[in-house]
Amino acid sequence: MNVKIYPCTLNGDVNAPASKSAAHRAFIAAALSDKPCEIVLSASSEDIEATVSCLVSLGAKIEKEGDVYRVMPIKTPKSGVFDCGESGSTLRFLLPVVAALGAGGTFTGRGRLPERPVKSLISALSGCEFSSEKLPFSINGKLRGGKFFLPGDVSSQYVTGLLFALPLVGGEIVLSSLLESKSYVNLTARVLENFGVRVIETDNGYKTKGSYCAPAHYVVEGDWSNAAFFIVASAIGNLVRVKNLSTDSAQGDSAIRKLLLGFKSSGTVIDAGDVPDLVPALSVAAAYSSSPTRIENAARLRLKESDRLHAVAHNLNALGVTVQELPDGLIIEGKGGVNGGTVSSFNDHRIVMSFAIAATKASSPVVIEGAEAVNKSYPSFFEEFKKLGGKFDVV
């Protein structure tokens, strides 16, 4: 699906959808718990449904009625096919869980997921055998407790996956390098605490205490990551107010407002190490600023649903903004706005939403190719966009 977006002013209130990051974690914790749990999820997505489907394949029973998912925990783990779709979270979170339960099975995925790194996580899962280091692969054996050695600078999702497994097998995580995107591990700890498991930070890693005990009712909080696009919309001249966000959230992307306030007329430097998912949206804000912005410590963005550094640079250049692509970041020469033109989604939901927002104040219409990629995390994005006064045609 290609969409042609016309310059306009978005105006009104929008409710942030449920946090995709928190939802993944809540469903997994509920499936490993001692009793049923009702999870209230205001909005789902392809990634969340991939996790739900894999948990069902693993032996959980999950029933949906409206916004409520009733999760009945895994009693007898099942071997099966775990289709992770394009969700890196689903793969990296559930791989240690399947290993800890000794279920075995086959993991599959599509898009760029087979190319995204998982080797270090596989290496850490002692007691298990894998048919390959890239998807699709089968896993056999049962995870042994003990010390799990992981790099901290590849993916915080490795740490989260093993944190789900630790209450089942015992042991601790030992990091061989500084942990990046630590806020995502903090979010994991917050969710696990709600399900009876305390995460304890050590000098060089993590361990857990307690066992899974589900609350009867769990409401997934609003998503700062997806809300960021509409927050940036207001920063570049729209009039959008975002609701359903917790100001004391453990989500790292709640830093979006502080980062936007930090733009300076003399030039801005943004360290993306803890907020990688905000880079596409922040890049749009940078294009609308009147001074240079340097985004650094973002090399891992090359391993997301797309190479996001290249995707952002390519699209902003296509809209008349001078962008220098660095190995680990971008230098964006802000010119106070963008021109019209044609950009690609690169099959990446965050690229679509960023450039839809950029288009609202462009000098002429912007065509986004492959805009259906939003379904990965925010299927109702264009519906909300239209409600706010956004103007576009499907072409």
> Please, what is the end-to-end C-alpha distance for the chain in angstroms?
7
Identified catalytic residue from 223, 253, 274, 277: 277
- Characterize the bridge pairing of strands 80-83 and 68-72: unpaired
129 to each of 42, 78, 100, 123, 298, how far by Cα in Å?
38, 17, 13, 10, 32
Q: Is 365 helix (H, G, I), strand (E, B) or coil?
A: coil
Sign of the alpha-carbon dihedral angle for 307, 261, 153, 163: negative
Q: Is 78 helix (H, G, I), strand (E, B) or coil?
A: coil
Return the amino acid letter for 103.
A
Alpha carbons 191 and 198: distance in angstroms, whole number? 10
Residue 22: count of CB within 10 angstroms of its CB: 25
Instruction: Please give the radius of gyration of the chain, using alpha carbons only, rounded to the nearest integer.
Output: 21
Reported residue count of the chain is: 395
Q: In what order do the strands lie in the sheet with 292-296?
A: 268-271, 292-296, 329-333, 322-326
Residue identified by tokens 């995460």 is 199
Residues 6+ apart with CB under 8 A from 73: 30, 31, 32, 33, 34, 35, 36, 60, 212, 214
The rounded Cα 269 to chain-centroid distance in angstroms is 23
Using a 10 angstrom Cβ sphere, with 0-12 exposed, 13-18 middle and 19 or more buried, the burial of residue 265 is exposed
The stretches of the chain forming alpha helices (DSSP H) are: 20-31, 46-58, 88-101, 119-124, 156-169, 182-194, 224-235, 256-261, 279-288, 308-318, 349-359, 381-387
Q: Residues 56, 98: contact at Cβ < 8 Å?
A: no
Q: Residues 36, 72: contact at Cβ < 8 Å?
A: yes
Q: Is 393 a catalytic residue?
A: no
Which of the residues are catalytic?
277
